[in-house]
């Protein structure tokens, strides 16, 4: 039976090739758009999931200031048992440094000064060297895989000495994997503090990002209260009443850092509302493609009168006819999914120009993603085909055999309503697109009165 459904469906797609091509093109575009926005949404909503201990990592702030004193990390870790570990980042976003090796110099961005505990707290994977001792000594340098390749080529970089900004010699102690695409921290390497013993005594330098790793099964609210009380008491004892009263310690979950707009400029960031907006737009576009299929299929109902009436006359049940039309719709949708993947592959480099980081897409290396795409295509095919199948199989056989025209009533009114809805949504999306383009152009080209 399935073989017969497939043969008839394939024959009808070939027979009505112009309509089939229009439907495949529309559904391909709709599915490609949905795949783009879904991949982008999944990519952004899973930011920093690369860190295995993500749910226990918290970013510390002082009041409304997203920076902390240098000594805070050590002081809290040593006095609050619920804090398992801590790490500081002296993260001057985007700064350039000059690394020299064998009389060859290279400009490198985003070398982050940090504590040895960075590789215990975050899942930055070391691929050469010892993660636990990589930054324990002063003037130690951990380079990303791509930067190490740029500096040393095929040489083993471990133990090599490079000149840092013509000031100090640093020893390469380890190589870390390049930054995961969906990680908030942008780095080309990590460097150790030159005088780490002084850090735990410095309460004046408020330019460090501090992260705490809480012990397992801890309530963050309770830990935050303890930290707040501890630091406030310290400030009072030091006579810093202003800091004690106006800069209470707060903890921000690491998983919320990416969507925290107050951290804009420090880390890669996104806007959750924009992500959901694009998801809605993508679904609207897919709905338009589905409605277009419904309109075209019901509009050509008269061309299939003979087929339907003959099938009913020789004993085909309505259920069998419904399955046949649904099979045609699903087959067409699966073909559209294949072309949609091709469209996605071609458009993704362009889309990535407008995203915070390149969205990875490799469906043929990811069976789950491939299954999700074609599973969604089957669902779309069923949704697109359910209305036309019941409409076509509802034709009265006796009237059709006598040559009577299809009834104008509900079917025609439905198509009119669908067309009006299509045009309305299309106009809304067009106006929204033009507005966004105009605003983007204004932001980029407005004379601010100073050099950016």
| pLDDT for res 356 | 61
How confident is the prediction for the chain on average, in pLDDT?
82
What's the angle, vertex CA 352, arms to CA 346 and CA 358, rounded to 5? 110
Question: What's the mean pLDDT in 247-258?
Answer: 90
The pLDDT score that the predictor gives to residue 226 is 94
% of the chain surpassing 90 pLDDT: 27
Q: Average pLDDT, stretch 125-145?
A: 93
pLDDT of residue 413: 65
Q: Mean of the pLDDT values across residues 100-129?
A: 91
pLDDT of residue 80: 94
Measured distance CA(277)–CA(289) in Å, rounded: 19
pLDDT one-digit tens code per residue, 344-385: 888 888 877 777 667 776 666 667 778 888 888 888 888 877
Average pLDDT over residues 28-40: 86
pLDDT attached to residue 259: 87
Stretch 80-108: mean pLDDT: 86
Give the residue with greater pLDDT, 377 vs 223.
223
Convert the chain into a string of H (helix), E (strand) and C (coil): CHHHHHHHHHHHHHHCHHHHHHHHHHHHHHHHHHHHHHHHHHHHHCCCCCCCCHHHEEEEEECCECCECCCHHHHHHHHCCCEEEEEEEECCCCCEEEEEECCEEEEEECEEEECCCHHHHCCCCEEEECCCCCCCCCCEEEEEHHHHHHHHCCCCCCCCEEEECCCEEEEEEEEECCCCCCCCCCCCEEEECCCHHHHCCCCCCCCEEEEEEECCCCCHHHHHHHHHHHHHHHHHHCCCHHHHHHCCEEEEEHHHCCCCHHHECCECCCCHHHHHHHHHHHHHHHHHHHHHHHHHHHHCHHHHHHHHHHHHHCCCCHHHHHHHHHHHHHHHHHHHHHHHHHHHHHHHHHHHHHCCCCCCCCHHHCHHHHHHHHHHHHHHHHHHHHHHHHHHHCCCHHHHHCCCCCCCHHHHHHHHHHHHHHHHHHHHHHHHHHHHHHHHHHHHHCCCCCCC
What local confidence, expressed as pLDDT, does residue 252 receive? 93
Identify the weakest region by mean pLDDT among 329-343, 346-360, 398-412. 398-412
Residue 340 neighbours by CB under 8 Å, 6+ apart = 27, 28, 29, 30, 31, 32, 35, 373, 377
The predicted structure's pLDDT at residue 214: 96
262-299 per-position pLDDT tens digit: 776 667 778 888 888 888 888 888 888 888 877 777 77
Residue 398 has pLDDT above 70, yes or no: no
Q: Average the pLDDT over 380-395 and give the result.
A: 75
Q: Are strands 104-109 and 161-164 parallel, antiparallel or unpaired?
A: unpaired
């Amino acid at each position: 039976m399935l073989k017969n459904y497939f043969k008839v469906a394939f024959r009808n797609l070939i027979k009505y090739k112009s309509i089939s091509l229009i439907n495949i093109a529309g559904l391909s575009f709709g599915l490609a758009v949905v795949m783009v926005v879904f991949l982008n949404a999944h990519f952004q909503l899973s930011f920093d999931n690369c860190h295995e201990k993500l749910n226990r990592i918290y970013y510390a702030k002082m009041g409304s200031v997203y920076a902390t004193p240098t000594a805070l990390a050590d002081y809290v870790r040593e006095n609050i048992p619920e804090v398992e570990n801590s790490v500081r980042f002296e993260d001057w976003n985007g700064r350039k440094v000059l690394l020299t090796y064998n009389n060859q110099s290279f400009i490198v961005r985003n070398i982050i000064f940090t504590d040895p505990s960075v590789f215990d707290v975050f899942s930055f994977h070391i691929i050469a060297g010892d993660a636990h001792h990589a930054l324990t000594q002063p003037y130690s340098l951990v380079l990303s895989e791509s930067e190490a390749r740029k500096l040393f080529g095929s040489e083993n970089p471990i133990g090599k000495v490079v000149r840092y900004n013509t000031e100090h010699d640093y020893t390469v102690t380890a190589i870390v994997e390049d930054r995961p695409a969906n990680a908030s921290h942008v780095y080309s390497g990590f460097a150790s503090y030159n005088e780490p013993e002084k850090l735990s005594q410095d309460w004046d330098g408020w330019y460090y990002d501090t992260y705490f790793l809480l012990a397992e099964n801890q309530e963050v609210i309770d830990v935050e209260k303890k930290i707040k009380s501890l630091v406030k008491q310290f400030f009072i004892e030091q006579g810093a009443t202003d800091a004690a009263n106006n800069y209470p310690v707060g903890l921000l979950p690491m998983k919320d850092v990416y969507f925290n707009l107050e951290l804009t400029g420090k880390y890669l960031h996104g806007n959750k509302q924009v992500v959901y907006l694009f998801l809605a737009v993508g679904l609207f576009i897919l709905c338009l493609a589905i409605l277009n299929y419904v309109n075209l299929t019901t509009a050509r109902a008269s061309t299939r009168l003979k087929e339907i009436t003959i099938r009913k006359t020789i004993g085909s049940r309505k259920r069998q006819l419904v399955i046949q039309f649904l099979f045609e719709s699903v087959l067409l949708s699966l073909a559209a999914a294949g072309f949609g993947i091709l469209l996605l592959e071609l458009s993704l480099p362009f889309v990535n120009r407008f995203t915070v980081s390149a969205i990875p897409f490799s469906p043929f290396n990811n069976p789950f993603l491939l299954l999700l795409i074609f599973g969604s295509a089957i669902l779309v095919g069923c949704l697109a085909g359910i209305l036309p199948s019941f409409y076509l199989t509802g034709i009265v056989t006796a009237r059709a055999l006598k040559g009577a025209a299809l009834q104008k009533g509900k079917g025609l009114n439905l198509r009119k309503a669908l067309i009006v809805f299509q045009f309305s949504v299309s106009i809304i999306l067009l106006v929204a697109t033009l507005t966004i383009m105009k605003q983007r152009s204004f932001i980029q080209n407005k004379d601010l009165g100073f050099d950016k």
